[in-house]
A = this chain, B = another copy of it.
Amino acid sequence: MAQQERAIRTRQAILEAAGKVFDEAGYEAATIAQILACAKVTRGALYFHFSSKEDLARGVLDEAVTTEGVSPQPFKLQELIDTSLLLAHRVQREPLLRASIRLSVDQRARAMFGTRWPDWITVTAALLQEAKDKGETLPHVVPEEVARLMVGSWTGVQLTAEAMPEPPDLTDEISLLYRLMMPNIAVPGVLARLDMAPDRPLRLMSSAAGAAEDHMREA
């Protein structure tokens, strides 16, 4: 059990190192040697978990679609907002997530490994469908359509923000994006109760960490 746990940790350390190297150098330029140096593991340990650079890229991409930190909410639309805002918060702090975006954006890597955008669209469309079934959405909302636009917009806002001479905070930008779109998605009674504030991820995370959320809200 301890051995298995150690193996899981080693695998995660290698993935995170691969993320860091792919994020900084790009897929083409990245080398196994760089990843080894960054992960501080032996070549044998790396090849025990991943057979090649391609395999590492696939491993990185498998971490791309994550709803970590999202908990059930009174409204499904809130869960959707939480998912997007948490990702915006984390992507600025976690090279592994940035690498999965970079691999998707890179045309060559994309040709080799595909992207996780279709999976994100599926996750988003499912949440929108649940929201629709519960009466949270306006009648014209087509979950699959809106899901495509949301995943596309999130991706482009991240990409263009990152490229700016003075990049704005991504959580602020995604918060603005939701405030622009949501009034044409949610019915008014739900809209008024949605929390799209840029500090939402911090509150969710401290709430998850055991701190009382209400206390945080007042602080």
Chain A residues engaging chain B, CB cutoff 8 angstroms: 26, 28, 102, 104-108, 110, 114-115, 117-118, 145-146, 148-149, 151-161, 163-165, 168, 173, 176-177, 180-181, 183-185
Known pairs A148-B160, A152-B157, A153-B177; list 10 more (Cβ under 8 Å): A102-B107, A105-B107, A110-B163, A114-B163, A117-B164, A146-B180, A148-B173, A152-B177, A159-B159, A180-B181
- Smallest Cβ distance from A138 to chain B, in angstroms? 10
Assess the A180–B176 pair: CB atoms within 8 A.
Answer: no
Which residues of B have CB within 8 Å of A148?
Answer: 157, 160-161, 168, 173
Whether the pair A180, B184 counts as a contact (CB closer than 8 A) is yes
**A185 vs B110: C-alpha distance in the bound complex, in angstroms?**
35
Whether B106 pairs with A163 at a CB distance below 8 angstroms is no
How many copies of this chain sit in the oligomeric assembly?
Answer: 2
Contacts of A155 in B (CB 8 A): 156, 159-160
Instruction: Please report the C-alpha to C-alpha distance between residue A107 and residue B110 in the assembled complex, in whole angstroms.
Output: 14
Residues of B within 8 A of A118 (CB): 164-165
Task: Report which of B26, B104, B177, B183 forms a contact with A163, defined as CB distance below 8 A.
Answer: B104
How far, in Å, is A137 (CB) from chain B's closest CB? 12
Please measure, in the bound complex, the distance between the C-alpha atom of A110 and the C-alpha atom of B106, giving whole angstroms: 12
Contact residues in B for A154 (Cβ distance below 8 Å): 156
Q: Which residues of B contact A158 (CB under 8 A)?
A: 152, 156
Q: Check A176/B117 contact, CB under 8 A, given A152-B161, A159-B159, A181-B184.
A: no
A103 → B minimal CB distance (Å)? 11
Bound Cα distance from A119 to B177, whole angstroms? 20
